[in-house]
Structures are given as structure tokens and as C-alpha cells.
């Protein structure tokens, strides 16, 4: 643990999810591959789509509608729908099938193994602070077995932009009724979490459990953690 600024009083803590409370990389890889295989085997309309083809379609949709960059769930449903449309499926059925596949994708994407240490940290902190999730992802938090620890679970979409935009941070502060300077945000990403928190006036704890050099950061957090459990020493 290394400090870069004095924290001051902390009255609430917010958490990123993916790669902060658990390792998301194998989870999303498995979910993406499931989607490609399922679409190829189930729908002749997308039998020729591989990962690259789906990614090109997603990029094209985001270029056409930049708001989709801030709503990963809506973007994926549109991507599935347009993939089916491009293969000749009628619009009404394509929308219906896209919703079905997306729901199954979310289930696969939410098959996460949460480390026991993470659960212990949250259980302890929840007895002392209001805890909030602000995530850019769309994991089903109730599937993680952690949702009972959090007073609010905030995700982008419906007009709210992704971190590091101020939308989710400000929404959290309003819901908690606290000034940003009294809320500590914990996350692994140096842009969405560290820069997002600092630029919006929040305290920032950077979870650097992969040994990155802090000297390369353009914006320093208030504190750098190498293990999530260090939070219990901090607050």
C-alpha cells in the first residue's frame, strides 16, 4: 500500500466490479466464445460470423450511434439483431431472437467465481460504511452473491454515460447525500476508475494487483493497493 495524498474522512465506499472484485478476463472470454458458437450453430443467418465479424459489426454500430458506446447491453442486443437481419431474418423475429440470446449471454457472462477474500472484505466494510457499485459492465450482480452488501448498483445506459464521465459518480453522490470528497472509489482501471474519481472530486484507491508502475500514471490516486484486503487497514 502506498499513499500519494492524505485521504481525509471517508463516509462511503464505491467499487468497480470487473477485475477489481474478481478476475473478469476469463469470464468475458468464455462468454464471447459462447455467443459466437451459439449464433453459428443456432441461426443459419449468422453461420459465417466469427469473432472478428461480430466486432466489426459492433464498431460500425457504435460509429453510427455513439450513445451505444455507453450502454454495453443495448449495444450487444443491437449487434445480435443486426447480425440476424444481415442474414435475411425478418425484423420482428430478429429483435425477439436477439433478446433471447442476450439474456442467455448475460447468464454465461455472470458465471463468476468471487474470491473468498473479496467476500470477507465486503462483509466487514458493509458493517461500517454504505457500499455502492459503479460499473461500466453488465454483469448480473445478484448472481455474484454480493448484491446484499451494496446500497446502490449503478450502471451506464438510459442517458447515463460510462466512467470516467461524471454521470455515475454524481448519481452516486446524490443518492448517498454525501460530498464526493468523503466517498472513496476503489477500482483497477487507471482511466475509468482513477482518473474518473479524481477528476470528479472523489477519493481514489487504485487496486494495482498486477504490478504496474505508478510512475507511468498521468493522474495519481490517493492510495495504491496491491491487495483488496488492504482496504481494511486503510478505512
Question: pLDDT digit string (tens) for 113-153?
Answer: 999 999 999 999 999 999 999 999 999 999 999 999 999 99
Q: Is 59 exposed, middle or buried (0-12, 13-18, 19+ CB in 10 A)?
A: exposed
| Residue 27: how many other CB atoms lie within 10 Å | 19
Domains, the chain, ordered by start: 2-22+113-234 (3.40.50.1000), 26-109 (1.20.120.1600)
> Is the sign of the CA dihedral 99, 104, 109, 113 positive or negative?
positive
The model's confidence at residue 225, banded by pLDDT at 50, 70 and 90, is very high
Q: Are 133 and 14 in contact (CB under 8 A)?
A: yes
Which residue is associated with the grid cell 472530486? 201
Of the listed 16, 71, 189, 222, which one is catalytic? 16
Strand order in the sheet with 2-3: 2-3, 223-225, 203-207, 183-187, 12-15, 131-134, 152-154
Shortest CA distance to 14 belongs to which of 175, 116, 130, 127? 130
What's the rounded Cα separation, in Å, for the pair 165 and 178? 19
Active site residue 16: yes
Phi, psi of 223 (to 5 degrees): -150, 145
What's this model's pTM, rounded to 2 decimal places?
Answer: 0.92
Grid cell listed for 23: 478476475
Q: Provide the pLDDT for residue 212.
A: 87
The model's confidence at residue 235, banded by pLDDT at 50, 70 and 90, is confident
Amino acid at each position: 500500500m502506498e499513499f500519494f495524498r492524505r485521504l481525509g474522512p471517508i463516509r462511503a465506499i464505491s467499487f468497480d466490479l470487473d477485475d477489481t472484485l474478481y478476475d473478469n478476463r476469463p469470464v468475458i472470454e468464455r462468454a464471447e466464445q459462447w455467443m459466437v458458437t451459439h449464433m453459428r450453430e443456432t441461426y443459419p443467418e449468422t453461420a459465417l460470423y466469427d469473432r472478428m465479424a461480430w466486432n466489426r459489426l459492433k464498431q460500425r454500430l457504435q460509429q453510427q450511434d455513439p450513445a451505444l458506446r455507453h450502454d454495453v447491453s443495448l449495444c450487444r442486443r443491437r449487434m445480435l439483431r443486426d447480425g440476424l437481419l444481415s442474414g435475411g431474418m425478418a425484423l420482428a423475429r430478429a429483435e425477439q431472437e436477439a433478446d433471447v440470446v442476450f439474456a442467455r449471454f448475460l447468464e454465461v457472462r455472470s458465471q463468476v467465481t468471487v474470491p473468498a477474500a473479496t467476500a470477507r472484505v465486503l462483509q466487514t466494510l458493509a458493517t461500517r460504511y454504505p457500499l455502492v457499485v459503479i460499473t461500466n459492465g453488465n454483469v448480473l450482480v445478484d448472481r455474484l452473491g454480493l448484491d446484499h452488501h451494496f446500497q446502490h448498483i449503478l450502471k451506464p445506459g438510459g442517458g447515463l454515460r460510462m466512467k470516467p464521465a461524471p454521470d455515475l459518480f454524481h448519481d452516486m453522490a446524490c443518492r448517498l447525500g454525501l460530498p464526493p470528497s468523503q466517498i472513496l472509489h476503489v477500482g483497477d482501471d487507471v482511466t475509468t476508475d482513477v482518473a474518473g474519481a479524481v477528476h470528479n472530486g472523489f477519493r481514489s484507491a487504485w487496486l494495482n494487483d498486477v504490478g504496474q508502475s505508478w510512475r507511468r500514471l498521468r493522474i495519481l490516486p490517493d492510495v495504491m493497493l496491491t491487495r483488496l484486503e488492504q482496504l481494511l487497514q486503510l478505512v
